[in-house]
Structure formats: C-alpha cells, structure tokens
Amino acid sequence: MNLKVAFTWEDAKEVADLIIFKHFQEHLKDLEIQLLQGAWEGLTYEKIAQIHHHSVNYLRGDVGPKLWQKLSIALAEEVTKNNFKGALERAREKQYFDSSIPVVEFPFPEGAVPLNSSFYMEREGIESLCYDTVVKSGSLIRIKAPSQMGKTSLMSRILAYAQTHHYHTVYLDLSSVERSILTQLDKFLRWLCLMVSRQLKVDNKLNDYWDTEILGSNDNCTVYFEDYLLSTIQGSLVLGLDEVDRIFPYTEIIDDFFGMLRSWHEKGKISQKWKQFHLVIAHSTEVYIPLDMNQSPFNAGVPVELIEFDQKQVKNLAYLHHLDWNDNQVENLMQIVGGHPYLVRRAMYEVSSSKITLLQLLQEAPTEAGIYSNHLRKHLETLQQSVKETQGLKEALKKVVTSPEPVELDSMQIYKLHSMGIVRRQDNHVIPRCNLYREYFRRVL
C-alpha cells in the first residue's frame, strides 16, 4: 500500500519559492509569504490585512493578483487563491521540485582558480601563446593586469604546462616577503635562493657559494643559481615571480634585482646553462620606477596583458553556474561590473547559491548592503592611507567618478588607481573601470 506523504504549509512555501526563483530569478517577498500563508489557513484578504497591518485594497488589488499570475506562469496552469494548494502539491508530485536532489555548491570566488576548475575562462590566444613561449630556451613571460584579473591563475597554468614537459617549477609570491628582508639586497637575494632551493628540494648551500669578501650580492646570487641550482637539477627551471609590484617601493633592491633578472634572460641567449632558465613574472600595471632600459626585464621577453571577459565569456560562466540567463540579464550585470572576472564570478556565486536575486544584487551593488561592500571598502581604505604614494589620490579619483568625460591625471596617480583596478586608461586620461566604482566612490567621496 502506498502512503501519501502529507503536504504541509512549509512544503508549500518551499515549492512556491523555488518555482518562482526558477522562472523569475527572484524569491518570494515577505508580503507574498504572509498572503500565501493566510490563504493556506483559509483567511480572507480582510483578515490577512488586519493581522499584518496592510491595506486590504493593496493585498486584494495588487499583491494577490500578481502572486497568482506568477504562479500560473511558473506552473503552466491557472492558479488562484482558492486552488493554489492543489497546484503546488501537483508541482511537487510532478517533480518540479525534488528534495532528494542535492543542492549544487559552487566554489566561493577567491584567490587563484584551481587547475581542475571548470570556472577558469581562457582568453583567446593568451594561454596558447604562454604555453608555446615557456618551453623555449631562456624564455621570459611578463603578465600584466590589475588586481583580481587572473594573473595568478594564468601563472599556475603556465607552470603546470611546463611540468608536463618535465621542467622543474618554482612559484614565489613576493607580496608575502617581510619588509625587513626587502630593505637589504643581500638578505633579499639570500631569501630568494633559499626559497628556490626548498621548492626544488635541494640542500641549502648558501654558505658554500656566498663569497661576501670578493663578490657582490648579485654575483653571489647568480653563481648560486648557475653553479649549484641549475647544475644540480639537471634540467630546465621555470621561476614564477608573482606580485612583483610589492618590491617597487624598495629602492634599496629594485635596480640591482631587476637588473640581475634581465642579465639572466640575456645569458639565456648565449649560455647553454642559462638556456635552461625560464622566467615568468606578474605585475599589476605599468612599471613606474625608473630603470635603465637595458637593465630592465619589463621591456624584454613576451608581454601578456589580461583584459576583462567579453559577453560570450560571461554568458558561459552563467551557464557553468546553472543560471539560465538571457542576453538582457548578462548585459544588465555587465552594465554594473563590466567583465571584471572577480566581480562577475562573485555575482554569479551569490545568485546561483540562491542568496539573492540578480535584480536585488544590481540594485544593492554600490551600497553598504551589497555583496561588494567589503571589496569596495578595501579600495576606500587604500585611498585613505596617508603614505606618500597615495597623497591626493582620493581627490584624483573624485574627479574621475564625477566627470562625464575622461579625466587627465599625473602619471603616478594613474599608476596607483590603475594598479588597484578601479580605473581604465584612455591614452593619458582615465575613466572608472565600471559603473559599480563610479557610483560607489561618487557617493563616499
């Protein structure tokens, strides 16, 4: 004998909410839930209005008809206040909703996209260019993009590709280096050698190769790599240096360090040993520090600049998040956040997790109640720092977000704002990267 499972008010509310969300990308509003529950209990519009302190004309003439119409569309049958119970129960029986199906949990978009993730969006031609380049003798790849645009995700894939060719790889995030190390060239280069040694799983022999009486720090570091590391591993080494912007303010080391990297790249053109050395560096924007063009790695090798996702890529991401968005919905999102990888993925994570509707997300996006509040406050805190490099940056950005036309700024202000990722350059002028930044900073500044 088949026993029919009781259909409760909680069941009805859950089915109605999921059905509405599936078809309209919005959840039931509080007032709609109150009306639905009152109707479930057999109450009149007058009684429901009295209990919840609403206008009976508003419930009967506006909220009610709209709710029954939405349910009628979603369930493909006429739904009224009198028959909605049976309609929702049939919806469950027809498996519009199946509580046994597990909810898909999408990864929260933070940090690098894992290698095995389907959420990584390839840029046309970029990955193949990097893969072809990294396996060439003495290669140098320079990845440039503002924060949270995918530099680390791309670098991890370049290193993984090199590993398929049996290359040794080392990844170092320079943003993690302690400030005390960055103020002394010798200490910084010894740190570099030690970290590379550890990742290659070779013994630390710095004391055996570091001759402080005769050789300078750059020469000692070069000798350690050439005579020890490259000789010991007996194969090619790809060194990935991420967030190199971190060391730009440290004038004690930048000239010598970047000059050394450039010399290693040049050695790779003539030295068999240094042809085994491959370098991948990532930085946020143009290099503002004055470097001799012949001693800088930033005007050599293969440059790679990451741009925002286009509409097709954003639509593909929506599909991967199980969001059945049409072109208008994709365009509505991009009007607010553009094709910024992090901002797009964060929106889709929130909507696909049923935490918010797309309409509500877009309305709240530039406010403190929106999903981007922490992201926006972080940028605001950077602007409010009193350090020398950010003097006047708030006023500069204020000009940008309040002007309908591109604004001309000095080169340092452009560098800082662009490296933060909140402006887009147009020749010597800038505009806000997206409307999210324009609306938020126009309000708070």
Q: Tokens 């140098």, residue?
A: 140
| Cα 213 from Cα 177, distance rounded (Å) | 27
Among residues 305, 327, 349, the one where a domain terminates is 305
Residue 195, token pair as written in the block: 């970290």
Asked, for residue 367, whether it belongs to a domain, the answer is: yes
Residue 203: phi and psi, rounded to 5, are -65, 150
- Report the DSSP beta bridge partners of residue 137: none
Tell me which amino acid residue 258 is: F
298 and 232 inside one domain:
yes
Residue 241 belongs to domain with CATH number: 3.40.50.300
pLDDT for 193-228, tens place per residue? 999 999 999 999 999 999 888 899 999 999 999 999
Structural domain boundaries enclosing 139 = 126-305
Q: Could you tell me the end-to-end alpha-carbon distance of the chain, in angstroms, rounded to an integer?
A: 70
The DSSP output letter for 226 is: I
pTM tops 0.85, yes or no: no
- Would you say residue 3 lies in a domain? no
> For tokens 């085994």, what's the residue?
276
Round to whole Å and give the CA distance between 158 and 165. 11
Residue 103 falls within a domain, yes or no?
A: no
Token duo for residue 162 = 């090199």
Would you tell me how many other CB atoms lie within 10 Å of the CB of residue 433? 23
Residue pointed to by tokens 């004055």: 290
Is residue 100 assigned to a domain?
no
3-state secondary structure of 49: helix
Helix 373-383 to helix 341-352 angle, to the nearest 10 degrees? 150
Are the CB atoms for 92 and 133 separated by under 8 Å? no
The Cβ of residue 141 has, within 10 Å, a number of other Cβ atoms equal to: 23
| Residue 176, both tokens | 């993690």
Q: Are residues 64 and 165 in the same domain?
A: no
Q: Are residues 299 and 162 in the same domain?
A: yes
299 with 317, same domain? no
* 404 and 364 Cβ atoms separated by less than 8 Å: no
What is the pLDDT tens value at each position of the chain, 445 positions in all?
Answer: 344 567 888 888 888 888 887 766 677 888 899 999 999 999 999 999 998 888 888 888 888 888 998 888 778 788 898 999 888 888 877 754 444 444 456 888 888 988 878 788 888 889 989 999 999 999 999 999 988 899 999 999 999 999 999 999 999 999 999 999 999 999 999 999 999 999 999 999 999 999 888 899 999 999 999 999 999 998 999 999 999 988 888 888 988 999 999 999 999 999 999 999 999 999 986 565 666 666 788 888 999 999 899 999 999 899 888 888 989 999 999 999 999 999 999 999 999 887 889 999 999 999 998 999 999 998 888 887 744 455 588 888 989 999 999 999 888 788 888 888 899 888 788 999 999 999 999 998 8
301 with 315, same domain: the answer is no
Question: Residue 339 domain-assigned?
Answer: yes
Characterize the bridge pairing of strands 277-283 and 423-426.
unpaired
CA distances from 231 to 169, 218, 234, 261, 356 (A): 15, 18, 5, 18, 56
Q: What is the SS3 assignment for 324?
A: coil
Q: Are residues 153 and 247 in the same domain?
A: yes
Q: In terms of domains, do 87 and 173 share one?
A: no
Q: Are 267 and 274 in contact (CB under 8 A)?
A: yes
For 76-87, b where at least 16 C-beta lie within 10 A, e where not — what string? eeebebeebbeb
- Reference 71, options 20, 12, 32, 8; nearest CA is 20
Name the phi and psi angles at 143, rounded to 5: -100, 125
Chain-centroid distance, C-alpha 220: 38
Q: Is residue 342 domain-shared with residue 224, that is, in the same domain?
A: no
Reduced to 3 DSSP states, what percent helix, strand and coil does the chain have, rounded to the nearest 5?
Answer: 55, 10, 35
Burial 22-35 (b: 16+ CB within 10 A, else e): eeebebbeebbebb
Instruction: State how far Cα 402 lies from the chain centre.
Output: 26
- φ and ψ at 304, to 5 degrees? -130, 120
Residue 114 lies in a domain: no
Residue carrying structure tokens 């009486």: 213
DSSP string, 185-198: HHHHHHHHHHHHHH
Q: Which residues pair with 278 in a beta bridge?
A: 238
Token couple for 190: 């010894």
Phi-psi region of 125 (alpha: psi -120 to 50; beta: other; left: phi over 0): left
User: Is 119 a member of any domain?
Assistant: no
Residue 77 lies in a domain: yes
Number of domains, the chain: 3
**Tens digit of pLDDT for each residue in 140-177?**
999 999 888 999 999 999 999 999 999 999 999 999 99
Q: Compute the Cα dihedral for 10, 12, 16, 19 and give only its sign.
A: positive
Residue ending a domain, choose from 305, 323, 338? 305
* Under 8 Å between Cβ of 156 and 296: no
Orientation of helix 393-402 relative to helix 435-444, angle to 10°: 120
Radius of gyration of the chain (CA): 29
Half-sphere exposure of 265 (CA within 13 A, CB side): 24
